Amino acid sequence: MSTPDSKGSYLHDLIESRLVLADGSVFEGDALGAPAVAASGEVVFNTVLSGYQEVITDPSYAGQMITFTYPHIGNYGTAAIDDEAQEPFCRGVIIREMARRRSSWRSEDHLDTFLRRHGVPAIAGIDTRRLTRHIRDRGAMPGAFGTADFDTLLSAANNEKGTAGVDLVSVVTTDEIYTVGSGPRTVVCYDLGVKATMLRSLGEIATVTVVPADTPAEDIMVMDPDGVFLSNGPGDPEQAGAIVGELPKLIGMVPIFGICLGHQVLSLALGGRTYKMKFGHHGGNVPVRDARTGKVEITSQNHNFAVESGSVPGVTETHVCLNDGALEGLVVNDAPAFSVQYHPEAGPGPHDSRYLFDEFAELMDSNKSLDRNGAS
């Protein structure tokens, strides 16, 4: 068992553990976090240099095991204010080295204690450079880690469904309607796995009513919102549930802004197509160019699926990823609606794209002005 000493450092009793991927690759390490005999999930990698707590608590990682490419994790501990959700939905955490001491005036707990409290298993001592290269070359794939033998872990990895064709939105969405923020406008947020930082950003421009992902469009319109927001979330957009069928009833009726999974479900509702990427975009340093201005933004991203460029009718494609040419944003030509694949709220990541929340506010205000003029 791991225990903090009197000086606040963390002493780990090393228990052998191993990670086995579905292709039979083996990575030796030590067990940390919640005890695990054979935890399984889709193994992906994230390139952020800090913000590990925000990443671990991002609901978009439901069904996945997070490999941190940065080698030293846990050095500033954890703080409740940095949680992006009430609990993590990821299946596990894979790191090179867990810091033995937390060193930050904000720190409330050790990362290992945090993981144990939330039931999240971890494995340390992994050659994460080798693992990242393997995923980059072979693609994200199921894996399992724990104290079990090789055959048990390989079987668990091969039985793992991954994220394609799986409904993960229903796992993370809210069960009850609630309100946050105190901004001057009114926004209804479809919770597909929304992050706390995202709600704080929206709360600066609007009073936000958060609703379950399966809320009918008629119920949304009864609320008479100034705008509708489509949040981030995990997994396959084609398995996101009723929202894809409900969105056509809202497009053109109220301004819409979608982020990440919200971008994907909006594209599907418009008749577009999505696909699963080889290893996705997970990090805080992804360059995106605005095709309208030529400006390049450094963005925070977390997604394994993307919208097929050229597949969405009636839109102008506005943003492109400079790493691989993936579609990163669009504007609907004949309706007040737009979306981006990346995360303007960051958490963690750069704030280059925070202006998009202001653009949403301007879109809502201009739409209200048109409504008033039309009524008169």
Residue of 54, 297, 328, 345 with catalytic role: 345
CA dist 9 and 20 (Å) reads: 30
Closest CA to 62 of 197, 234, 300: 234
Do residues 298 and 285 lie in contact, with contact meaning Cβ atoms separated by under 8 Å? yes
359 included as an active-site residue: no
Give the DSSP per-residue string, 7-56.
TSBEE----EEEEEETTS-EEEEEEEES--SSEEEEEEEE--SS-HHHHH
Residue of 134, 303, 319, 343 with catalytic role: 343
Distance of CA 208 to the CA centre of its chain: 20
Q: What residues contact 98, with CB distance under 8 A and at least 6 apart?
A: 10, 12, 32, 73, 74, 111, 112, 122, 124
Phi, psi angle pair for 117, to nearest 5°: -60, -35
User: Would you give the end-to-end CA distance of the chain in angstroms?
Assistant: 71
303 included as an active-site residue: no
110 included as an active-site residue: no
Residue of 260, 319, 321, 328 with catalytic role: 260
Query: Catalytic amino acids?
Result: 260, 343, 345
